[in-house]
Amino acid sequence: MSAATAPVETRRARAADLLGSATQRNAWILGLLGFLALLLVFTKLIQPRYGVTGVQGLAISVLPLALAAAAQAVVVISGGIDLSIGSMMALINVVAAVLMKGQSEEFGVAVVLGTLLLGLVLGAVNGSLVVLTRVPDIVVTLAMSFVWAGCALLVLPTPGGGSAKWLTALVTGSLGNEWIPKAAVVLVIIVALVWIPVRRSRQGLSIYAIGSNRLAALRSGVSVGRSRILAYVLTGLFAAFAGLSLTASTGIGTPVPGPYSLMSVAAVVLGGVSLAGGLGGVFGPIVAVVILQLIRTDMTFLNVNTNLATVVQGLILIGVVMVGSLIQIRRARS
Amino acid sequence: MTLTTTDLLLEATGISKTYGAVVALKSASLAVRPGEVHALMGANGAGKSTLVKILTGAVRPDGGTIAVRGRQRTAHSPAEARRGGLVSVYQEPALIPDLDIHSNLRLTETPLEPFRHWLHELGLADLDLSSMARRVPLASLRIIDLARALAIEPDVLMLDEMTAALPANLTERVLEVVGRQRGSHRSVIFISHRMIEIAAFCDRATVLREGETVGVVDVTEGSEERIVELMLGQIVEDMPAVAARTAAAAGTAGAKPRLTARGLSAGTKLHEVSFDLYPGEVLGVVALEGQGQDELFDILSGSERPSSGELLVDGSPVSFHHPADAIRAGLVYVAADRAEALLMQRSVRENIALPFSTRIGQWGLIDLAGERRTVDAAVATLQIDARAGGEVRRLSGGNQQKVTIARWVAGGVHTMLCFDPTRGIDIRTKHQIYLLLRDLAEAGAAVLLYTSELKEVQLVCDRAIVIFGGSVVAEIGVADADEPALLRAAYNLRSDAKMPEQIVAEAAAAEALAEGPADPTAPQPTEPEGDR
């Protein structure tokens, strides 16, 4: 009897342990989700008509920045940074729009696959330059942001081009239940398809390892250069998805980069990824993007001057990160 | 009580501190008389470093009182403690690497003349103050840190593991200078894992165990036993067990060497180093600081490439371009500095899994269940206390070091390269590591062990090679590898070199006779190369 129950009990204890450590590890994300819930309630209070259309609009407007934040998160976890995400998005956006204009729907599929491949190449170029030239990543990617932005203008000097109908349909409307916007489903699928296999693989562990302690990773046999390049390649892939989401949601190509590079850094910080590397995931930054977007929406509802809204958004960013850090410090002490 | 309190230079009573669920200090007390060298002893995790941090103002206590010269005082920052007359010197020098020494001194408002005086006393008179701290060797930085502390004439000078990994010649200088503080109105709090230093230089010792002061011992002849007893509680019988194994494992000659170095050289640091490492043995490497042992281990672990020479693993020549190559050839490296080896914010599981999961294949998914089994087995083998395993930085130093070893044990050990693996960790964990190294050797692994603690050689190794000035100058069997013999060899046969013990004896004699002529019974000039 006792021999049979003992393993069950240890398993139960282990499960409780795992649950406990899981909550602890994801405390930041849980806090963000709580904050998001409060914001939704607040939104409903100030704008009682906020409902299905609001949620759908939120999902579409969030999509590009959410994917950009995921892109930034990967490279920041590896201990780097990529300031060319916005420019890569613009380049992918215009390439896709130019190629798809006036072409068949089937050709659109080939364009999507081709531009995703282009994203991998852009990321590989960024990563290889950072590793091979030994110039600091912030400098390399800032310089490359001009290069990619210039390329985007060479491809398409003024906004134009088009999008395949299926691509636009992919992110508009809802799936089954009207409360489930397609854009949100697409976001979840992309992140699940790219990030979960990486997180479970040895290469994923290597990316965390080089972000946490590069020397220790090297001494453990991790190929540091290759893992850094891989992180940039993944960032390029997410940036390509983000760029395609711009094509899909706007229906055209816009050669001038949006403020995505720096906004993604803000989202990453708010999302619980340490800028020193080695900590966090992609889920937190995506939740952070939703929060940032919802705050903007609320300020529109409250008729706050848009310039003032930007100021408030910045202050909220500092405030949330500060409060979160204080809570963590306090918990570590008590 | 009030009467004695005023006699004391520093008195801390009932100090307590908890971090979350972890009780670092339950009730610690420390009373330092003026003019004494007072040892603070305790195994790692006993609360020693927490008490030090509280005394120096780096951490605030939950409860208890601190009085300096009978006056209540709580320092809120190290700067405040410093102004209150309490200065500490740590194992890791507190100098800004990108400033020159002169600027570093200005930063702490250190008076220059006394600093030069103490530097001279400590045997570092020819130091160029305009050199960058980054370019000064670590041992010299420790001395500079000490001179800087002495220059501001603190009431209480706290030396925390100051002599750990300091070469023997500098250690004796430091101890001599520190010993001279005795008898003045100033005091020294001395923290060290080296019992011989405690015995030689301290007047009294306060012993901590599990967050409590368990005893204050007057340091006299034979009091080491008492101190060790207090520190350990019950377990003291590990030592002979290790020694017995050593005797049993001796005699692996005739086998095929696991690792062979043939004329390894690296720049000016390493010249023509050759040795064989056999399976089933622990080969000790003994050297004073900076004799080329760092370069040797860097080459063997694949971090550096030799400028000439050959390396053979199981008889076939190898060439490492990356640590991964060495790991693939079975050569794994355990560093002294845990910060160089661990992913501090990541979990115990990930830290242990990192090398063996990245080694097997590069792209496949991790087999989580298999990985957990391997990690659990390694954690059990090394008896790691992984309750705070979510983040490795929350573990104690000893447990962290066990994690760095466990990651290699988990994958099966072929050849282990240990560079001072027991630096700055407590006796209990040291013993566990000794036993583990012996177990690994018994199971057929080959172990190369560099150690700055000479007594480890006889405890763990089967034989030892001695490196001096980048060359192997001696090979000594375990039977002859006592501390004086090793130290003499480490000094490369300088028969007139004084051993720290002799300096100790001389100092004691000089103190007793006021002016005793130091006459060490001239040590026999040994010829270690004769028995090849």
B407 and chain A in contact, CB less than 8 A:
yes
CATH code of the domain containing B67: 3.40.50.300
Whole-angstrom distance, CA of residue B391 vs CA of residue B20? 14
Strands B331-334 and B415-419 come out as parallel
For B146, counting Cβ atoms within 10 Å of its Cβ (0-12 exposed, 13-18 middle, 19+ buried), the class is buried
Closest to B148 (Cα-Cα) out of B187, B101, B85:
B101
Domain assignment present for B304: no
A274 and chain B in contact, CB less than 8 A:
yes
B361 and chain A in contact, CB less than 8 A:
yes
Chain B interface test: which of A202, A215, A274, A334 (most B C-beta within 10 Å) = A202
CB contact (8 A) between residue A221 and residue B323: yes
| Tokens of residue B452, six digits | 């700055």
Are A89 and A243 spatial neighbours (Cβ–Cβ below 8 Å)? Answer: yes
CB contact (8 A) between residue A202 and residue B366: yes
Does the structure show a pLDDT above 50 at A194?
yes
Nearest 5°: phi and psi at B94? -95, 60
How does DSSP classify residue A201? B
How does DSSP classify residue B340? G
- Please tell me the total count of domains within chain B: 2
Whole-angstrom distance, CA of residue B86 vs CA of residue B12? 13
Question: Would you state the pLDDT for residue A15?
Answer: 59
Instruction: State in Å, rounded, how far the first CA of chain B is from the last one.
Output: 65
pLDDT band at A33 (very low <50, low <70, confident <90, very high): very high
Does the structure show a pLDDT above 90 at A49?
no
CB contact (8 A) between residue A201 and residue B366: yes
Chain A interface test: which of B346, B356, B400, B403 (most A C-beta within 10 Å) = B346
Residues of B in contact with A7 (CB under 8 A): none
Chain B interface test: which of A219, A331, A334 (most B C-beta within 10 Å) = A219
Closest to B279 (Cα-Cα) out of B434, B394, B390, B442:
B442
A197 and chain B in contact, CB less than 8 A:
yes
How many other β-carbons are positioned within 10 Å of the β-carbon of residue B425?
A: 24
Q: List B416's β-bridge partners, or say none.
A: B332, B447
Nearest 5°: phi and psi at A274? -75, 130
Most trustworthy range by pLDDT among A58-62, A126-130, B400-404: A126-130
Are A90 and A255 spatial neighbours (Cβ–Cβ below 8 Å)? Answer: yes
Does the structure show a pLDDT above 80 at A86?
yes
Which of residues B192, B211, B232 is at a domain's end?
A: B232
Half-sphere exposure in the Cβ direction for B426 (13 Å, CA): 23
SS3 for B199-225, per residue?
HHHCCEEEEEECCEEEEEEECCCCHHH
Q: Phi-psi region for residue B183, left (φ > 0), alpha (ψ -120 to 50) or beta?
A: left
Closest to A260 (Cα-Cα) out of A129, A46, A54, A82:
A82
Domain assignment present for B350: no
Helices A202-212 and A182-200: crossing angle in degrees, nearest 10, is: 80
What residue in B sits closest to A196 (Cα-Cα)?
A: B365
Listed by start position, the domains of chain A span 59-258
Cβ neighbors of B283 (< 8 A, separation 6 or more) are B275, B277, B446, B447, B448, B449, B461, B462, B463, B464, B465
Lowest mean pLDDT among A6-10, A48-52, B141-145, B194-198: A6-10
Which of residues B183, B200, B232 is at a domain's end?
A: B232
Instruction: State in Å, rounded, how far the first CA of chain A is from the last one.
Output: 40
Cβ neighbors of A11 (< 8 A, separation 6 or more) are none
**Region A5-10: what's the mean pLDDT?**
50
Range of the domain at B37: 2-85+154-232
A223 and chain B in contact, CB less than 8 A:
yes
Q: Nearest CA to CA, how far is A180 from chain B (Å)?
A: 31
Whole-angstrom distance, CA of residue B192 vs CA of residue B453? 12
Nearest 5°: phi and psi at B460? -120, -35
Return contacts of B168-171, CB within 8 angstroms, 24+ apart.
B168/B288, B168/B487, B168/B490, B168/B491, B168/B500, B169/B288, B169/B491, B170/B122, B170/B123, B170/B139, B170/B142, B170/B143, B170/B289, B171/B197, B171/B500
Does the structure show a pLDDT above 70 at A142?
yes
Strands B282-286 and B212-218 come out as unpaired
Residue B341 is nearest to which of A200, A208, A216, comparing CB atoms?
A: A216
Per-residue pLDDT tens over the stretch A235-276: 999 999 999 999 999 999 999 998 999 999 999 989 988 888
Whole-angstrom distance, CA of residue B414 vs CA of residue B258? 9
Listed by number, the residues of chain A in 12-41 with a beta carbon closer than 8 Å to a beta carbon of chain B are 21, 24-25
Q: Nearest CA to CA, how far is A271 from chain B (Å)?
A: 17
Question: Would you state the pLDDT for residue B249?
Answer: 47
pTM for this entry: 0.72
CB contact (8 A) between residue B366 and residue A200: yes
Domain assignment present for B438: no
Whole-angstrom distance, CA of residue B255 vs CA of residue B251? 10
pLDDT cut 90: percent of chain A above it: 58
**Angle made by CA atoms B498, B504, B508, in degrees to the nearest 5:** 130
| Tokens of residue B132, six digits | 């960058």
Q: Phi-psi region for residue A283, left (φ > 0), alpha (ψ -120 to 50) or beta?
A: alpha
pLDDT tens-digit profile, chain B (532 residues)? 444 445 788 999 999 998 765 678 899 999 999 889 999 987 656 788 888 888 888 888 998 988 888 888 777 888 888 888 888 887 777 888 888 898 988 888 888 899 999 999 888 888 888 888 888 888 888 889 899 989 988 889 998 878 766 777 788 888 888 888 777 788 999 987 677 778 888 899 998 888 889 889 888 877 777 777 777 665 444 444 455 444 444 444 567 889 999 999 988 788 889 999 999 899 999 887 678 888 999 999 998 899 999 999 998 999 999 888 898 888 999 988 888 888 888 888 888 888 865 544 445 566 777 778 888 888 888 888 777 667 888 787 788 888 888 888 887 888 999 998 887 777 788 888 888 899 889 888 999 999 877 778 888 899 999 988 788 888 888 888 777 677 777 766 544 444 445 555 555 566 555 544 444 444 444 444 433 3
Whole-angstrom distance, CA of residue B40 vs CA of residue B63? 20
Question: Would you state the pLDDT for residue B512?
Answer: 59
B324 and chain A in contact, CB less than 8 A:
yes
Whole-angstrom distance, CA of residue B522 vs CA of residue A131? 59
Question: Would you state the pLDDT for residue A322?
Answer: 82
Residues of B in contact with A279 (CB under 8 A): 345
Token pair 């849980």 is found at: A30
Question: Would you state the pLDDT for residue B59?
Answer: 86
Residue A219 is nearest to which of B335, B353, B359, comparing CB atoms?
A: B335
Residues of B in contact with A219 (CB under 8 A): 301, 303, 323, 333, 335, 340-341
CB contact (8 A) between residue B368 and residue A200: yes
SS3 for A65-113, per residue?
HHHHHHHHHHHHHCCCCCCCHHHHHHHHHHHHHHHHCCCCHHHHHHHHH
Domain assignment present for B435: no
Which of residues B232, B260, B290 is at a domain's end?
A: B232
| Tokens of residue B51, six digits | 């008490």
Whole-angstrom distance, CA of residue A172 vs CA of residue A56? 8
Token pair 């490497």 is found at: B285
| Tokens of residue B45, six digits | 């995790």
A229 and chain B in contact, CB less than 8 A:
no
Nearest 5°: phi and psi at A223? -80, 100
Cβ neighbors of B371 (< 8 A, separation 6 or more) are B349, B353, B357
B340 and chain A in contact, CB less than 8 A:
yes
Are B97 and B134 spatial neighbours (Cβ–Cβ below 8 Å)? Answer: yes
ipTM (interface predicted TM): 0.77
Are B378 and B410 spatial neighbours (Cβ–Cβ below 8 Å)? Answer: yes
Residues of A in contact with B341 (CB under 8 A): 216, 219
Cβ neighbors of B31 (< 8 A, separation 6 or more) are B8, B10, B11, B12, B206, B216
Residues of A in contact with B374 (CB under 8 A): none
Helices B500-512 and B483-490: crossing angle in degrees, nearest 10, is: 110
B50 and chain A in contact, CB less than 8 A:
no
